A and B are shown apart, each in its own frame.
Chain A
Amino acid sequence: QSALTQPPSVSGSPGQSVTISCTGSTSDIGNYYRVSWYQQSPGTAPKIIMYEVSSRPSGVPGRFSGSKSGNTASLTISGLQAEDEADYYCSSYTDSSTYVFGTGTKVTVL
């Protein structure tokens, strides 16, 4: 199972919006709404910020939103804040009953 494809980095100024794409195949993203997103700061475990494409766990700010079209999922951060600077990973359930992660995207707040 190949990793899902994400851009290595995205950046934006405080208050701006950034979108991270996550491209897979018909064996994962294209076949399920079981796409999740994780935020990881250096030296810490990943933290869930989005599940089932567009559902936010309790405590995750509303400026995070998710969507999916075909084999590509997206995470948008609206009103970027300094604390959003981190690595972000998408993940999808697959036809093999396993999970595949994205290559990861570093979000930089300018």
Chain B
Amino acid sequence: EVQLVQSGGGLVQPGGSLRLSCAASGFSVSNTFMTWVRQAPGKGLESVSVLYTGGGGITYYADSVKGRFSSSRDNSKNTLYLHMTSLRPEDTAVYYCARVTRQYYFDFWGQGLVVSVSS
């Protein structure tokens, strides 16, 4: 059974850092496209990062987080990470990890983590 279990959210001050984890089971993250999506309170969905496999594993980031967020995977732990630095109040959101299929859609999602950036 495919599952994505997230951990690591919480309250952080502006300018601070946080690392989100997304532990996968039922498939291997090493050969699967993955993504991070966030949803600010009362707002819509925003794709934050897309991690591709092959060709060195290219990762794309939304302009709103470029230079501040980075995504990585630990294949030995079958886990995806989102490293967030220089956090701003506007980064406050529920963050989801999701699996990307070869048909270009997100089929399995984590449960979501609340990240709150506030002093």
Contact = CB atoms under 8 A, between A and B. Distances in A.
A3 B44 contact: yes
B103 interface: yes
Contacts of A47: 109
Given A1-B63, A46-B109, A97-B60, A52 B103 contact: yes
Nearest to B45: A101
A93 B33 CA distance: 13
B107 A57 contact: yes
B50 A99 contact: yes
Given A51-B103, A51-B104, A96-B60, A101 B44 contact: yes
Contacts of A102: 44
A32 B103 CA distance: 11
B45 A104 contact: yes
A36 B99 CA distance: 14
Interface residues of B, number: 23
A45 B62 contact: no
A101 B46 contact: yes
Interface residues of A, number: 27
A46 B45 contact: yes
Contacts of B44: 3, 89, 101-104
B110 interface: yes
B107 A52 contact: no
Nearest to A104: B44
A98 interface: yes
Interface of B: 35, 37, 44-47, 50, 52, 58, 60, 62-63, 96, 101, 103-107, 109-112
Interface of A: 1, 3, 32, 34, 36, 38, 40, 45-48, 51-52, 55, 57, 89, 91, 93, 96-104
Given A36-B104, A97-B52, A98-B47, 6 more contacts: A38-B106, A45-B110, A46-B45, A46-B106, A48-B107, A51-B103
